[in-house]
């Protein structure tokens, strides 16, 4: 199972986003956190910024929508050319319909679960998704500590993906470091978002390599 490292530009220098994208070119995807000040108490970028950044990015975009009413906004990110669009289960009124819409536009469809959200209702929906994001912090801010209490949920998903034979990527996001990535990989994750640990490193490319090596141990 290949390991994917997706740096989150939430931790990048917002005054120099094009240059920051260049510093993480050895990663797999760019994780783009969209926050609306309603679903989470923080505000980041919207479609015009994402569209422009896509034009200068060496890597495809993994868009993480921490917003209310994803039915209204998510398709626009797929139409803008995002590789994957992940919306929150807690915010969606019809996750299956929205995933089908995203796939029909040509994006991979992802569903995200906050730390307190039960995974069981979503296990039978796995064929509808290309990715499940298990949040390992409460969404809203970078630089928080990894919550190991979310690992059993990942284990349930990993078992379900294995027995289904589907190629659903299992992503973790929040507090991923060289230490916690090992725990998440052992629990079954294969796609790792890392914000502060990559962008606060002296050399982000070296840090990406270290994270990849730790996950592949
Ligand atoms: C948190 C965001 C994360 C965040 C991770 O709500 O979804 O993607 O950027 O940041 P770190 O890696 O610093 O925990
Ligand atoms: Zn995120």
Question: Can you give the pLDDT at residue 1?
Answer: 66
The model's pLDDT over 179-200, given as tens digits with 9 standing for 90+, comes to 999 999 999 999 999 999 999 9
Which residue in 148, 149, 194 sits closest to 171, CA to CA?
Answer: 194
Check if 33 is active-site: yes
Cβ–ligand 1 distance for 174 under 6 Å, the answer: yes
Cα-Cα-Cα-Cα torsion 75, 85, 119, 2, nearest 10 degrees, comes to: 150
pLDDT tens per residue across span 28-77: 999 999 999 999 999 999 999 999 999 999 999 999 999 999 999 999 99
Ligand 2 geometric centre to CA of 136 (Å): 10
Query: Residue 31: CB within 6 Å of ligand 1?
Result: yes
| Average pLDDT, integer, range 100-106 | 98
pTM score? 0.98
Task: Check whether 159 has a pLDDT greater than 70.
Answer: yes
In whole numbers, what is the pLDDT of the chain averaged over residues? 98
The answer to whether the annotation marks 173 as part of a ligand binding site is yes
Out of 28, 36, 130, 173, pick the active-site residue: 173
Q: What angle do CA 85, 163, 108 make, to 5 degrees?
A: 15
pLDDT for res 193: 99
pLDDT category, 97, cuts 50, 70, 90?
very high
Could you give the number of structural domains in the chain?
A: 1
Q: How far apart are the first and last CA of the chain?
A: 13
Supply the ipTM of this predicted assembly: 0.99
* Structural domain containing residue 153: 4-216
Cα–Cα distance measured from residue 148 to residue 5, given in angstroms and rounded to the nearest whole number: 19
State the alpha helices, DSSP H only, in the chain: 17-23, 47-56, 70-80, 95-105, 120-123, 151-164, 180-187, 196-199, 204-216
Q: Is the CB of 207 under 6 A from ligand 1?
A: no
Tokens of 149: 């209490």
217 has a pLDDT exceeding 90: no
Task: Give me the CATH number covering residue 29.
Answer: 3.20.20.70
Whether 5 contacts 30, CB under 8 Å: no
- Rounded to the nearest 10°, the torsion over CA 71, 95, 113, 18 is -40
Rounded distance between C-alpha atoms, residue 127 and residue 98, angstroms:
13
pLDDT score of 91: 98
199: CB partners within 8 A, 6+ apart: 7, 9, 11, 12, 13, 20
Cβ(70) – ligand 1 distance below 6 Å: no
In terms of DSSP H, where are the helices of 29-150?
47-56, 70-80, 95-105, 120-123
Q: What is the mean pLDDT of residues 104-109?
A: 98
What lies within 8 Å, CB to CB, of 14 at 6+ separation is: none
Distance in angstroms (rounded) separating the CA atoms of residues 76 and 71: 10
Task: Say how far apart CA 127 and CA 99 lie, in whole Å.
Answer: 10
- Write down the pLDDT at residue 147: 98
> Could you confirm whether 173 is annotated as catalytic?
yes
Q: What is the mean pLDDT of residues 170-186?
A: 98
Q: Give residues whose Cβ lies within 5 Å of ion ligand 2.
A: 33, 64, 173
């Amino acid at each position: 199972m290949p390991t994917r490292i997706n740096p989150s530009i939430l931790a990048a220098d917002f005054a120099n986003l094009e240059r920051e994208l260049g510093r993480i070119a050895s990663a797999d995807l760019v994780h783009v956190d969209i926050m609306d000040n309603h679903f989470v108490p923080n505000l980041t970028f919207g479609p015009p910024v994402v569209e422009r950044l896509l034009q200068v990015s060496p890597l495809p975009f993994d868009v993480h929508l921490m917003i209310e009413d994803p039915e209204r906004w998510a398709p626009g990110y797929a139409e803008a050319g995002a590789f994957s669009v992940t919306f929150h289960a807690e915010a969606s009124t019809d996750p299956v319909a929205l995933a089908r819409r995203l796939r029909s536009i040509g994006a991979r469809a992802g569903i995200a679960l906050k730390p307190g959200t039960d995974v069981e209702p979503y296990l039978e929906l796995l064929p509808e998704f290309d990715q499940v994001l298990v949040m390992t912090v409460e969404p809203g801010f970078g630089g928080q500590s990894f919550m190991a209490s979310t690992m059993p949920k990942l284990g349930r998903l990993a078992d379900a993906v294995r027995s289904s034979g589907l190629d659903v990527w299992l992503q973790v996001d929040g507090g991923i470091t060289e230490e916690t990535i090992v725990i998440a990989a052992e629990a079954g994750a294969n796609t790792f978002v890392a914000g502060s640990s990559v962008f606060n490193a002296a050399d982000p490319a070296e840090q990406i390599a270290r994270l990849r090596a730790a996950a592949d141990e």
